[in-house]
Structure 1
Amino acid sequence: MVEAAEARGRLSGFGRLLAVFGAIVAIALLVRTAMGAWDELRVESTRLDWTTAVLATIWLAATFILPIALWRALLRVAGRHLTFGAALELWSFSNLGRYVPGKVWQVVAMVLVARDFGVSPAVAASVAFVALALQISTGFLVASPIAGIIGEHSGAFLAAAAASIVCIALLVLRPAIFLRILSRIPLGRRLEPSVLGSRRTALLFVVGFVAVWTTQGMGLAMLASALGPVSWPEVPRFVGAYALSYVVGLLAVIAPGGLGVREEVLAATLAQAGIQGIPLHVLAILARVWAILAEVVILLWALAVRAIRIRSERATAGR
């Protein structure tokens, strides 16, 4: 039974090493960007509303519950039922793979950690690839409304948005073809065909990932309001800029966690979108610290859940 395998779940030696390495990289990245943000704040004499910044971090951490729930739902559609605590561990530990140079490590980490919860490599890889495809395609879709106002690259962004619409249409209307396309890439072979379920289920996943981008982009607008005034009509621009910068960071193969790329795209996009009264380069760097802090909150939660689970298993085994 999957539940029994889940109860006996343990990170393998290599998986544990990968998680520790990713955690070290993430912490080093956090310290580096925090120092950079602090230097920027001092040079610019920027005043930061710390209460608003903390609330924005709590908001972002809370929004991570939604992608965790979506990962869990994808696994459930594929016939693998995990508790929310197990899904939390799976998402948090595999997410550390993003900070290792090269974009395949999150998928590798997902496969390694999921195996210890009784999930086969084929199903784990399927969920990881489908979630990534949904994340990228819906990200471009959410960013598409601002494409017409960001200048010289608007044509490329509109083309990416159009490709995303085609991807989403295939995912919803022809999921088998969508998975066949994914299986053409080296790590996408032997994908589990049942991972998307029905068309209605696939559509619900699309809506879910759009909701992720929207709520997280609203969090960025909240963070920006800690640096300067943000009006409600400007919030959709922050949502679009956040989605665009995050997706471009995901596609930057060499940059671990999209470091540098995401900040540059975010600041440039917000500037071209007409956001004024806020030091955008400071916001971009601050947004990196904000995102990592929120991820650390979720990671600490996952570690606490794992510690409680292991303690419970040991107590049960000792009876």
Structure 2
Amino acid sequence: MTEATDPGAAAAEPAARGRRAVVVKWLRRVLVLAVLAGAIYQLVVQWPDVQDTLTSLPWTSVALSFASVFAAIGLGPVIWHAVLRDAGGQVAIRDASMIYLVGQLGKYVPGSVWAFLVQMELAKAVGVTRVRAFTASIVTAGLGVVASLLTGALALPSILAGHQEYLWLFVLLPAGLVLLHPKPLTWIVSRGLRTLRRPPLERPLTAPAILLALGLSAGTYVLLGLHLWLLSTAIGPIGFDGLLLCIGAMSLAMTAGLLAFFLPSGIGAREVVIVAVLATVLPSGPAFTLAVVSRLMFTIVDLASAGGAALYVRMRRTETAPVT
């Protein structure tokens, strides 16, 4: 004879799940608001330091530089979407843009984990498991580091000439190149998931997706280098060699900022690398000012891109919502 189910307990279980869902929903909103506040705070803090310089630069240089940053940031969701799809996750590119761009605001809060956490929660809200979203974010970041070190090699002449202390960044490159092969990359990701007591990848990552992500990541750093070069040429002509140098500088600076995860958006670490490399073609004073201007422009683009993506997704959902 089986024991009868308590009707009260059966009714309480769905109610408890509903309360948990409401709590998770509000925690997700609080988390997004926290990282948004961090980004806005950084924007307010940076503005007084670069206001005069930014307004004194030719508007064409500033506009084209902004466009380069927008293009570079816009490649991020495409890379994340490609990796997520390869890991078995399905989501519309507009949702991927909102997840990735809003999540990236987490870097303005000390600790890089916040960006991944926000992306996981936003992905969960549109039906993507946290495990798949976390996998896509980690793999995207890892391939981005490999791409940055490859394009960062363009700054090696400057580093070898007087800033050899930055050579340690390239220690990561041999291991990164090994992980470009699908088998070791899949093994390491699955091993990491098991460590976190999560199921491993359902299928191995593929070479086409890895190479696509790597190529688009390299394109991101080329665009970021173009952004810095456009600002630099407004101060002094540095030619095509200067463009290559700026690509290398921005690549290594972004990696240094990522590794300095305990700083909001790697503030300080990124500027040190940019100034060290730019000082080989520009006076150190203007080089430092451009590094700070670059950071301000990044903050503006991050906020505008995240806000635009979130607004677009919200408008699309409103348009497609069924009429009752």
TM-score for both structures, normalised by structure 1: 0.84
1:154 and 2:161 matched: no
Distance 1:195 1:89 in 2: 26
CA apart distance, 1:153: 4.4
Query: Which of 247, 259, 263 pairs up with 1:239?
Result: 247
- 2:142 counterpart residue number: 133
Distance 1:149 1:109 in 2: 37
- 1:118 counterpart residue number: 127
CA distance 1:255–1:17, change in 2 (3 Å): same
How many residue pairs are counted as aligned between the two chains? 299
- 2:152 counterpart residue number: 143
Query: Which of 83, 89, 103 pairs up with 2:92?
Result: 83
CA apart distance, 1:129: 0.8
Distance 2:201 2:193 in 1: 10
CA apart distance, 1:168: 2.5
- 1:6 counterpart residue number: none
Query: Which of 22, 33, 38 pairs up with 1:20?
Result: 33
Letter in 2 for 1:177: W
Letter in 1 for 2:173: S
**C-alpha offsets along residues 162-195 of structure 1, whole Å, 9 cap, x if unaligned?**
53233222232532334256558x7x66375357
- 1:190 counterpart residue number: 198
Task: Spell out the pairing of 1:213-232 with structure 2 (5 A cutoff).
Answer: 213-232=221-240
Q: Which runs of 5+ in 1 are unaligned?
A: 1-10
Distance 1:219 1:71 in 2: 22
CA distance 1:163–1:250, change in 2 (3 Å): closer
Letter in 1 for 2:185: P
CA contact 1:249–1:261 (8 Å) conserved in 2: yes
Distance 2:92 2:292 in 1: 35
Distance 2:32 2:120 in 1: 13
Letter in 1 for 2:187: I
CA distance 1:189–1:132, change in 2 (3 Å): farther
CA apart distance, 1:79: 2.2
- 2:75 counterpart residue number: 66
Distance 1:293 1:73 in 2: 26
- 1:3 counterpart residue number: none
Q: Which of structures 1 and 2 has the bigger CA Rg?
A: 2
Distance 2:200 2:82 in 1: 15
CA contact 2:236–2:282 (8 Å) conserved in 1: no
- 2:18 counterpart residue number: none
Distance 1:139 1:133 in 2: 10
**C-alpha offsets along residues 196-250 of structure 1, whole Å, 9 cap, x if unaligned?**
6222332222222111111221122112223332312210100010111111111
- 2:9 counterpart residue number: none
Distance 1:234 1:278 in 2: 17
Letter in 2 for 1:23: L
CA distance 1:241–1:297, change in 2 (3 Å): same
Query: Which of 307, 316, 319 pairs up with 1:312?
Result: 319
Give the alignment's Cα RMSD to 1 decimal: 2.6
Distance 2:249 2:119 in 1: 28
CA contact 1:220–1:287 (8 Å) conserved in 2: yes
1:258 and 2:271 matched: no
- 1:291 counterpart residue number: 298
Distance 1:288 1:47 in 2: 17
CA distance 1:102–1:193, change in 2 (3 Å): same
SS of the residue aligned with 2:179? helix
Query: Which of 281, 287, 295 pairs up with 2:288?
Result: 281
CA distance 1:156–1:277, change in 2 (3 Å): closer
Letter in 2 for 1:176: T
Identity among equivalent positions (%) equals: 24
CA distance 1:226–1:191, change in 2 (3 Å): farther
Q: Which runs of 5+ in 2 are unaligned?
A: 1-23
Q: State the 4+ residue runs in structure 1 displaced beyond 6 angstroms.
A: none
Task: Spell out the pairing of 1:161-200 with structure 2 (5 A cutoff).
Answer: 161-172=170-181, 174-180=184-190, 182-183=192-193, 190=198, 192-193=200-201, 197-200=205-208
- 1:7 counterpart residue number: none
CA distance 1:277–1:266, change in 2 (3 Å): closer
